[in-house]
Amino acid sequence: MQDRGWWLGAALSGALVVMAGAFGAHALEGTLTPRLVAAFETGVRYQAWHTLALLAVLARRAAMPLAGQRLAMGLWAAGMGLFSGSLYAMALTGAGGLGMITPLGGVLLIAGWLALAAAVLRAPRD
């Protein structure tokens, strides 16, 4: 299977999204401040959207691989780890200093979208 590792990573990220979402909805409500619950939910939401984006690119790669798609996926994976991961950690530990990592993750997520745009612009036209 082409891109087996990426498919596995996207599947595990999807599972984590569901687990984190359920944990946030059932275990964190009433134990954290509304601000920290909102931060946790933001992490879940961004991870979910970027997991879906990974799956879409992987599906497209099966029919039409483009140079730069792997770069975009790698940037998204790193961005999800830093952006969502820092929000999860900040919400669960209350360590506000972790919030300094979140913007770096956001920059990586944006860079992934720009890398995908560049890949599409460099691709031969149909």
CB within 8 Å of 84: residues ≥ 6 apart: 43, 44, 46, 47, 105
Domain coordinates of the chain in residue numbers?
A: 4-121
Q: What is the DSSP letter of 64?
A: -
The stretches in the chain having pLDDT less than 50 are none
> What pLDDT is attached to residue 98?
86
Query: What pTM, to 2 d.p., does this model score?
Result: 0.93
Establish how many alpha carbons lie within 13 A of residue 32's alpha carbon, considering only the half-sphere containing its beta carbon. 23
Mean pLDDT across the chain:
94
pLDDT at 125: 81
Note the pLDDT of residue 1. Answer: 67
Provide CB contacts within 8 A for 16, sequence distance 6+.
Answer: 47
